[in-house]
Amino acid sequence: MEENDVHNTQPAGMLDKAVRVTKIITCTYMTVLLIVMALILGVSILLRFFFDQPVAWSNTITRYAYIHIVLLGAAISYLEGSHAQIDVIYHRVPQKMKIVFDLVHYGVMLFLCLVLTVMGGKHVLTMWHVHSPVLAGFPLGAVYLAVPLCAVVMMMYIFQQLAGITCRKEG
């Protein structure tokens, strides 16, 4: 019995840890990106204001950073449950129905993430050899990389939640 418990909890524990670590890494990356964006735009404003010489690539690089922040931020918001959502009906249905709702929800999300991972991955590979017209040598595939990354982060969380639902059902 104890052995079974160990088998049941080990993968779930590893998944929890993986989600936690991924969240920390993603949040740190987003924090750094936002600081870098602020510094680049701040310097560009000063240079434009005092010397009439804005940084030519500031718009492009900050737009790329923004794309990464949005997609990874959306994934973290999903992990934290802070997206806009309607839960009036969810709170009024019985517990069993809530599990059905959750299963459909995660099923749909898993499918969406799968589409984003596959399609995003294809774009990353295609665009990796295309370079930004403003930033010499910068592969545009790096911008598209945010799409599969966002999907993978969400998928990890969905698996963690599905493991939780299985445990609840077994319990």
Partner 1 sequence: MLYICLMIICFFVLMAIRVPIPFALLASTLVYYFGAEIPLNIVVVRLLRSFDSFILLAIPFFILAGRIMSEAGISDRLIRVADLMVGRVKGNLAYVNIVVSMFFGGITGTAISDTTAIGSILIPSMVKKGYSKSFSAAVTAASSTMGPIIPPSLMFIIYGSIAQVSIRDMFLAGAIPGLMVGISQMAVVKIHSLKYDLPRREEVISPHEAFRIIRDATLAIMLPVIILGGILFGIVSPTEAAVVAAFYAAIIAIFVYRTLTFKRLLTVIRDSAVETGSVSIIIAAAALFGWALSNEQAPQIFADMLMESSASKWQILLMINLMLFGLGMFMDSIPAIMIVTPVFLPLFTLLNIEPLHAGLFMSINLITGLATPPVGCCLFAASIISESPMEKISRAIIPFLAANVIVVMLVTYIPGITLFIPNLFK
- Residue 162: is it exposed, middle or buried by C-beta count within 10 angstroms (0-12/13-18/19+)? middle
- State which residue, 67 or 152, has the beta carbon closest to partner 1: 67
Q: Which of 25, 90, 134, 169 binds partner 1 (CB under 8 A)?
A: 90
Long-range contacts of 108-117 (CB under 8 A, 24+ apart): 109/154, 109/158, 110/155, 110/158, 112/151, 113/151, 113/152, 113/154, 113/155, 113/158, 114/151, 114/155, 116/147, 116/148, 116/150, 116/151, 117/147, 117/148, 117/151, 117/152, 117/155
Q: Which of 12, 16, 47, 59 binds partner 1 (CB under 8 A)?
A: 59
Site membership for partner 1, residue 9 (CB under 8 A)? no
H/E element holding 56?
none
Q: Footprint of partner 1 on residues 141-170 (CB under 8 A)? A: 143-144, 146-147
Q: Which of 56, 108, 130, 167 binds partner 1 (CB under 8 A)?
A: 108
- State which residue, 10 or 169, has the beta carbon closest to partner 1: 169
Binding segment for partner 1 (CB under 8 A), chosen from 3-11, 12-20, 55-63, 159-167, is: 55-63
Tokens 């598209």: give the residue. Answer: 144
Residues that bind partner 1 (CB under 8 A): 27-28, 30-31, 33-35, 37-38, 41-42, 45, 49, 59, 62-63, 66-67, 69-78, 80, 82-90, 101, 104-105, 108-109, 111-112, 115-116, 119-120, 122-123, 143-144, 146-147
